[in-house]
Amino acid sequence: MTASYAPIDSAVLAQAAESVRYDQPGVPLYIKEEGESSRIQHDPLMHWHDGVELIHVLAGGMRCFINDIELDLQPGDFCFINHRQMHVADSGSHGDYRANIVVLDPALMTRNDTIFARYVSPIVNDEDFSHFHLLASTGSATELGNIVDEIAELERTRPQAYELTIIGLLHLAFSRIYNAYKAEDASSYPADHDASTQRRMSQYIYDHFNEKITLDDIAAAGNVSRSKCSKVFKHYLQKSPIDFLNLYRLEVASRLLKNTNESVSRISSACGFSQQSYFDRQFGRTYGCTPREYREQYATAS
């Protein structure tokens, strides 16, 4: 039976469901130093977003999955992930890692239509181009890594007009990214229509996670059969569609627990769980604690 109390404000729920939270309203930039130890431990969830992502590994080893490709990133390595690519990163068997990460909406780049069409659109609109990985031993990785690190330092210290300096550095980075893109063998990135199908089905889950969703609904979003739907999820996410749905609901719930004072019962209902007892069990299996304990741990960590 669905709870009868008033739902959580839709704007609050939408914010919790965002795959990337940009640092300032109206400025589509996410800049952070991240690592395993920077979050309360749980398995990260594969996701995608409209921004492109720049990663510079500072220390430790970082394992990155992009669609169905696994990369082993070492200190000094640089990785570019194109927009709308399914991806996730963790430490794998390396222990902890630290990396500077920049996510930006390509719309932040040059306002000149000709330059944008010449140097930015070819990359972000190339459906066969998912990413590239530059080893620390290459000069390009060092140069791009230094740019990402300088951007991260500007975000940390925020001197006057630092946003303008960051945007300038991003244009410098994109000129190097464009050159690396042109040097890549396009045949290394064959078209993967199943990846597009996966994104459509994942997007349906993102848009409707707080509603009642069936396997048929998810499959219909990808215009595939139930069996094909399950195979695609298993291939890219190593999870069933319903398991991914529940894990995404739990991820949104965890953000609400961290960032709001809403009751556990209201959060459970808002994230699509019809019974709080089921929500509590699933949360415990995923995060190793109860929702209330998770909220307390995060408050202590903050």
Q: What is the pLDDT of residue 64?
A: 92
Q: What is the pLDDT of residue 154?
A: 97
20 domain residue, yes or no: no
Residue 139: pLDDT over 80 = yes
Average pLDDT over residues 97-110: 93
Q: Rounded distance, CA 202 to CA 46, Å? A: 10
Do 173 and 202 lie in a common domain? no
pLDDT in tens, 158-217: 999 999 999 999 999 999 999 988 886 544 455 567 888 998 999 999 999 999 999 999
Q: What is the pLDDT of residue 10?
A: 77
Do 71 and 181 lie in a common domain? yes
Do 180 and 114 lie in a common domain? yes
Pairing of strands 131-134, 78-81: antiparallel
Record the tokens describing residue 111, joined without a space.
Answer: 């306002």
Q: What is the pLDDT of residue 52?
A: 95
Do 239 and 179 lie in a common domain? no
Residue 70: pLDDT over 60 = yes
Q: Report in angstroms the alpha-carbon separations of 38 from 65, 99, 162, 230.
A: 20, 11, 25, 33
Task: For tokens 């909220």, name the residue.
Answer: 295
Confidence of residue 43 (pLDDT cuts 50, 70, 90): low
Residue 39: pLDDT over 60 = no
CATH number, domain with residue 239: 1.10.10.60
15 domain residue, yes or no: no
Do 206 and 125 lie in a common domain? no
Last residue within a domain, chosen from 156, 188, 220: 188
Do 132 and 172 lie in a common domain? yes
pTM of the model: 0.84
Q: Report in angstroms the alpha-carbon separations of 54 from 78, 102, 112.
A: 7, 5, 23
46 vs 156, more confident: 156
Q: Rounded distance, CA 259 to CA 17, Å? A: 12
Q: What is the pLDDT of residue 42?
A: 61
36 domain residue, yes or no: no
Using a 10 angstrom Cβ sphere, with 0-12 exposed, 13-18 middle and 19 or more buried, the burial of residue 70 is exposed
Q: Rounded distance, CA 159 to CA 229, Å? A: 49
Q: What is the pLDDT of residue 100?
A: 97
Do 292 and 221 lie in a common domain? yes
Q: What is the pLDDT of residue 3?
A: 45
Torsion sign (Cα): 260, 266, 272, 275: positive
CATH number, domain with residue 56: 2.60.120.280
Do 153 and 273 lie in a common domain? no
Residue 272: pLDDT over 80 = yes
182 vs 224, more confident: 224
Confidence of residue 137 (pLDDT cuts 50, 70, 90): very high
Q: What is the pLDDT of residue 186?
A: 42
**Helices vs. strands in the chain: H and E counts, helices first:** 12, 8
Do 163 and 207 lie in a common domain? no
**Could you give the number of structural domains in the chain?**
2
When the pLDDT of each residue in the chain is averaged and rounded to a whole number, the result is: 88
Q: Rounded distance, CA 250 to CA 268, Å? A: 9
Last residue within a domain, chosen from 138, 168, 188: 188
Last residue within a domain, chosen from 171, 188, 205: 188
Do 96 and 70 lie in a common domain? yes
Alpha helices in 6-118 (DSSP H): 10-17, 113-115
| Residues above pLDDT 90, as percent of the chain | 63
24 domain residue, yes or no: no
98 domain residue, yes or no: yes
Q: Which of 222, 224, 234, 229 is nearest to 197 (CA)?
A: 222
Do 174 and 62 lie in a common domain? yes
180 vs 14, more confident: 180
| Residues above pLDDT 70, as percent of the chain | 90
258 vs 91, more confident: 258
Q: Rounded distance, CA 135 to CA 79, Å? A: 9
What range does the domain containing 169 cover? 43-188
pLDDT in tens, 105-130: 999 998 899 999 999 999 999 888 88
**Phi and psi angles of residue 90, each rounded to the nearest 5 degrees, phi first:** -150, -175
Q: Rounded distance, CA 28 to CA 50, Å? A: 10
Task: Report the range of poorest mean pLDDT among 39-43, 137-141, 148-152, 278-282.
Answer: 39-43
Do 146 and 182 lie in a common domain? yes
268 domain residue, yes or no: yes
Q: What is the CA radius of gyration of the chain?
A: 20
